[in-house]
Amino acid sequence: MAKKTVSQLDVNNKRVLVRVDFNVPINEQGQITDDRRIVAALPTIKSIIDRGGKAILMSHLGRPKGGPEAKYSLKPTAVRLAELLKKPVKTSDDCIGASTAAMVNAMAAGEILVLENTRFHKGEEKNDPALAAELAKLGDLYVNDAFGTAHRQHASTFGVPAALGAGKRAIGFLIEKELKFLGHALDHPVRPFVAILGGAKVSDKIAVIENLLSKADTVLIGGAMAYTFFLAQGKNIGKSLCEKDKVGLAAELLAKAGGKLVLPVDTVVSDQISDTAQTQVVAGNIPADKEGLDIGPATAELYRAKIAGAKTVVWNGPMGVFEKKPFQNGTRVVAEAMASITSHGATTIIGGGDSAAAIEQFHLADKVSHVSTGGGASLEFMEGKGFACLDILDNA
């Protein structure tokens, strides 16, 4: 998907509307607890202001219920952005309206304005043309650098570039990087290509599994989704999470996979989820009073070996309840194996969400090729879906 990038736009003295993803966690004290998404947007913002553009940043934060809510204000993100850039960042009290327009019109070249949460207007998620038109009036150019929302046709992601028209629309450096890594891995992988899928639900990843079975050489399964596959094989799964209505589908996927789909050979089980839980390792059937909560040590070593032989690895979803110490070994082994092959030239991609949280927890995020900023967006990309919000942007 060769798209025009922000570097190809003449931004000098132009108002540049930038859709960023500043949907970051903020605690009750108003402090940002993870600023990775803000940091990820810095190259695009710097490119605009360093070349004399006026950067007008749009984002959502949280799920406000159809109106302004103080806890979802973007003002803390502007404070953090100013700290990172070491320069002033202004904020508006709304993303549209006369006072916001006046602030935009008063901007000098190289200045930055963070608009208030776009989801304070119900029209944002409905891609309301009136809201999109109001937002579009604030800019001469449009840049989308919010991969985490690129799969959603909202006013700020689709309506605004549609209103501005051709010749004025580009992707930022973050989306360029996401497309480079995820797109290349899926369409032109250096083989062997191993995909690793975990998490709770098979239903969330059916389309991903089907797409990857046609592209990857091996698909490793972990997390609670494995137990739906176990049921399909006729195994007992005790109290483990599963989707009984998806057992037939799991059986079909196993039949279709022809050996490509690799399931755990042992499981860490317990009767409680805590940092002090008593555990045991079982191969085959899980006892009736126990729950599977991580892949077992034999599986972890099997998966380590599969990863060790790969040249391209894409991982989405943890192997177990990695937040609790007794159940983090499987996820840790996968993370360490990916870091190891990265140092030998392999391409390793973490598909956002819980996998990104895990690789951060194990302090290995800088030891892999790419950690995606989009959870749901990464999944949809791995399904092979096109993104209308990117399709509408100008081609290179």
What SS3 class is residue 113?
strand
Q: Could you tell me which residues come within 8 angstroms of residue 65 by beta carbon, excluding any fewer than 6 positions away?
A: none
H helix count then E strand count, the chain: 15, 15
What SS3 class is residue 314?
strand
Q: Could you tell me which residues come within 8 angstroms of residue 187 by beta carbon, excluding any fewer than 6 positions away?
A: none
Q: Is 172 a catalytic residue?
A: no
Give the active site residue among 15, 37, 119, 306.
37
Q: Could you tell me which residues come within 8 angstroms of residue 305 by beta carbon, excluding any fewer than 6 positions away?
A: none
Q: Is 63 a catalytic residue?
A: no
Q: Is 201 a catalytic residue?
A: yes
Length of the chain: 396
Cis peptide before 318 (omega within 30 of 0): no
Give me the residues paired with residue 26 across strands: 32
Q: Is 353 a catalytic residue?
A: yes
Pairing of strands 291-295, 267-270: antiparallel
Give me the residues paired with residue 65 across strands: none
Give the active site residue among 201, 239, 324, 367.
201
Give me 151's structure tokens: 């799969």
Give the active site residue among 52, 62, 376, 384.
376
Active site residues: 37, 201, 353, 376
